[in-house]
Amino acid sequence: MSTIDAPERATPAIPGPPPRILLIQAPYYENVVSGMRRGAERVLGEAGATLEVVDVAGAFELPAALRMAIRHGGWDGFLLHGCVVKGETDHYQFICEAVCQGVMDISGETGVPLGFGLLTVETLAQAEARSAEDRHNKGGEAAHALLGQILLARRWGAAR
């Protein structure tokens, strides 16, 4: 891992009912994504949140699934988890850019509380390091970001 030390984050107390979270995950790299999910489960459990998990085929499907879930309603916030490992073709760049832009567009349009955990890495070893059960876990970091967004939504009366 990097020499940069990840900050220790306190899990925020969320006023009101326990948050209902939907995790949309692309488990192509099952070990990596399940490690991220465990990191998120730890953080969300500390906040008393409930978590529902759905799978999509790959990272490219994350934005469309997010849009469908928002239209369906019933959750206070959404987590997205996936991993794209760079290969020998341009596929990596096209997928990463499309997914990030799609998620950003939805986030900007809706203002929905969102935690974005898409690993875009050069090697599988990098992904494994970012999904390990420590404070470098990007699933846990995305869950912290999501809880912060839910806190703002409730503060400003924008929660669903």
Annotated ligand binding at 130? The verdict is yes
94 is in an annotated binding site: no
Catalytic residue among 81, 91, 136, 144: 91
152 Cα distance to chain centroid? 17
Tell me if 83 is assigned to a ligand binding site: yes
| Rg from Cα positions in the chain | 15
78 is in an annotated binding site: no
User: What whole-number distance in Å separates Cα of residue 69 and Cα of residue 53?
Assistant: 12
Contact 141, 117 (CB under 8 A): yes
CA dist 80 and 96 (Å) reads: 13
| Annotated binding residue 54 | no
Q: Is 29 annotated as a binding residue?
A: no
155's tokens: 């503060």
Let me know if 91 is a catalytic residue: yes
Instruction: Say whether 28 counts as a known binding-site residue.
Output: yes
Two tokens, residue 92: 């990596």
Task: Compute how many other C-beta atoms are within 10 angstroms of the C-beta atom of residue 89.
Answer: 8
Q: Which two tokens stand for residue 85?
A: 């490992």
Question: Which residues are annotated as part of the binding site?
Answer: 28, 59-61, 83-85, 88-89, 116, 130
Question: Which residues are annotated as part of the binding site for 5-amino-6-(D-ribitylamino)uracil?
Answer: 28, 59-61, 83-85, 116
Q: Cite the active site residues.
A: 91
Question: Which residues are annotated as part of the binding site for (2S)-2-hydroxy-3-oxobutyl phosphate?
Answer: 88-89, 130
